[in-house]
Amino acid sequence: MAVASDFVVVSNRLPVDRTDDETEPWRRSPGGLVTAVDPVMRRNAGAWVGWPGQPDVTVEPFDFDGLRLVPVTLSRDDVQLYYEGFSNDTIWPLYHDVIAAPTYHRAWWDAYVRVNRRFAEAASEVAADNATVWVHDYQLQLVPQMLRELRPDVTIGYFHHIPFPAYGIYAQLPWRKQVLEGLLGADVIGFQRVADAGNFARAVRRQLGYDTKAGSIAVPTADGGTRTAIAKAYPISIDASVYEELARRPDIRARAAEIRESLGNPKAILLGVDRLDYTKGIGHRLKAYGELLTDGRLSVHDVTLVQVASPSRERVQTYMQLRDEIELAVGRINGDADELGTTAIQYLHHSYPREEMVALYLAADVMLVTALRDGMNLVAKEYVASRVDGGGALVLSEFTGAADELTQAISVNPHDIAGLKDAIMQAIEMPQKERDRRMRALRRRVRENDVARWSQRFLTDLDSARRSRS
Calpha distance 114→139 (Å, rounded): 12
Does 352 sit near ligand GDG (CB under 6 A)? yes
Does 367 sit near ligand GDG (CB under 6 A)? no
Letters for 160-199 (x = contact with ligand GDG by CB under 6 A, - = none) are: -xx-------------------------------------
Burial 168-184 (b: 16+ CB within 10 A, else e): ebbeebebbebbbbbbb
Q: Which of 376, 394, 412, 451 binds ligand GDG (CB under 6 A)?
A: 376
Letters for 254-273 (x = contact with ligand GDG by CB under 6 A, - = none) are: -------------------x
Does 351 sit near ligand GDG (CB under 6 A)? yes
Least CB distance to ligand GDG at residue 15 (A): 14
Going 377 to 9 to 222 to 188, the CA torsion angle's sign is negative
Does 394 sit near ligand GDG (CB under 6 A)? no
Least CB distance to ligand GDG at residue 357 (A): 5
Beta carbon nearer to ligand GDG, 374 or 405 = 374
Letters for 224-243 (x = contact with ligand GDG by CB under 6 A, - = none) are: ------------x-------
Task: Report 31-50 residues binding ligand GDG (CB under 6 A).
Answer: 32
Q: Which of 375, 423, 459, 466 binds ligand GDG (CB under 6 A)?
A: 375
Q: Which of 300, 357, 367, 424 binds ligand GDG (CB under 6 A)?
A: 357
**Residues whose CB falls within 8 Å of the CB of residue 225, separated by 6 or more in sequence, listed in order:** none
Q: Which of 38, 196, 365, 382 binds ligand GDG (CB under 6 A)?
A: 382
Does 28 sit near ligand GDG (CB under 6 A)? no
Q: What are phi and psi of 272, to 5 degrees?
A: -125, 135
Does 275 sit near ligand GDG (CB under 6 A)? yes
Q: Rule CB under 6 A: which residues touch ligand GDG?
A: 32, 161-162, 236, 273, 275, 308, 310, 351-354, 357, 374-379, 382
